[in-house]
Amino acid sequence: MPYNPPFSITPTILKQVAEISESIGRLSARIEQTQVLRLRRANRIRTIQGSLAIEGNTLSEAQITAILDGKRIIAPPKEVLEVQNALKAYEFLAKWQYSSEQDLLHAHQVLMAGLLTDAGQYRQGGVGVMSGDTVVHMAPGADQVPRLMKDLLGWLKQTDLPALISSCVFHYEFEFIHPFADGNGRMGRLWQTLILSQWLPAFMDIPVESLIHQHQGEYYQAIRASTAKTDCAPFIEFMLGIIAKTLHEVQNTTETELAVESEKMRVEEQVKTRVKTPEQILMLLTKQPNLTLVEIAAHLGKSTSTIERAVAKLKQQNKLAFHGPKKGGYWQVLGE
């Protein structure tokens, strides 16, 4: 009989899914309007900083940016390695399939390389979920992990639930199983991002982990509440709330970026219109000396007669000369 994780769809969950779907639609449209590479880079850095901070990594966004740029920083080697591994993992993200056990193990190997002797392998001993110094959940025995993960990935592959919900269910179940000796938290968050990004690529660069870090206590509380109820609805509601808040923040940031770009274009256009036609002609012919008068007019959005008058004046002022035959000749911009 196929495995089905214990969860219920509450009215809150349905409302959250509808709101997120509407929000991500608006955000995707805005992202398509412009290539805000600085924004994407900043969000990736926030994502990594937030996810690792939950696990105790103290590096700031500025330090992670420096590592991304190949610069050396003064910091604990272990924390630097965690960041380097996370950066590599996000480079692989688009290549992994979320229902593949092989890809899941590879992802853990990449994330935990040099940090864990059995990176990329399921744990061989007992483990618990910690919140500070408190054990909030004792995971199933190590001998059960391969079967439980096979069942969970099998369910994920065949479920027809919306990705917003199935990703939350997987995240909770993954943390419940706690299949690895270490790195389960960052793996669960990474894999939820993978599931969501294969539904909508925009999620590849939306820093959900950053907000989870800000609400870390509620994150663990949602796990405890779901475990106590044998129903991960509390965790689904928590995660959907976090996703909705993150989308709102990113949307506001994107709108700001777009406004800045729009203002920049407006100023450039004003500067362009203040430059007189003769100066525009000289600047253009410096770069493209083989243009005809008709082509110059087309480039500058002027009439051919206007260009002819301006060119004649430039010749009189010894600022412009034409060499060669009428067809196939070239312009020379003369010095002052």
Q: 239 among the known binding-site residues?
A: no
CB atoms within 10 A of CB 113: 15
User: Which residues are known catalytic residues?
Assistant: 178
Contacts (Cβ under 8 Å, ≥6 apart) of 268: none
Q: 130 among the known binding-site residues?
A: yes
Q: 188 among the known binding-site residues?
A: yes
Q: 183 among the known binding-site residues?
A: yes
Q: How far apart are CA 214 and CA 5, in angstroms?
A: 28
Q: 135 among the known binding-site residues?
A: yes
Q: 204 among the known binding-site residues?
A: no
Q: 187 among the known binding-site residues?
A: yes
Q: How far apart are CA 300 and CA 279, in angstroms?
A: 11
Contacts (Cβ under 8 Å, ≥6 apart) of 105: 120, 121, 122
User: Residue 40 burial by CB count (10 A; 0-12/13-18/19+): exposed, middle or buried?
Assistant: middle
Q: 134 among the known binding-site residues?
A: yes
Contact in structure between 80 and 59 (CB atoms under 8 Å): yes
Q: 182 among the known binding-site residues?
A: yes
Q: 23 among the known binding-site residues?
A: no
* Helices 77-92/101-112 angle, 10° precision: 150
Q: How far apart are CA 281 and CA 121, in angstroms?
A: 67
Contacts (Cβ under 8 Å, ≥6 apart) of 76: 58
Q: 132 among the known binding-site residues?
A: yes
Residue closest to 150 by CA, chosen among 196, 102, 95: 102
Q: 136 among the known binding-site residues?
A: yes
> What is the phi/psi pair of residue 131, to 5°?
-125, 100
Q: 189 among the known binding-site residues?
A: yes
Q: How far apart are CA 188 and CA 190, in angstroms?
A: 5
Q: 50 among the known binding-site residues?
A: no
Q: 110 among the known binding-site residues?
A: no
Residue with tokens 């475990």: 227
Instruction: Supply the Cα-derived Rg of the chain in whole angstroms.
Output: 29
Q: 129 among the known binding-site residues?
A: yes
Which residues are part of a known binding site?
A: 129-137, 182-189, 219-220
Which residues are part of a known binding site for ATP?
A: 129-137, 182-189, 219-220
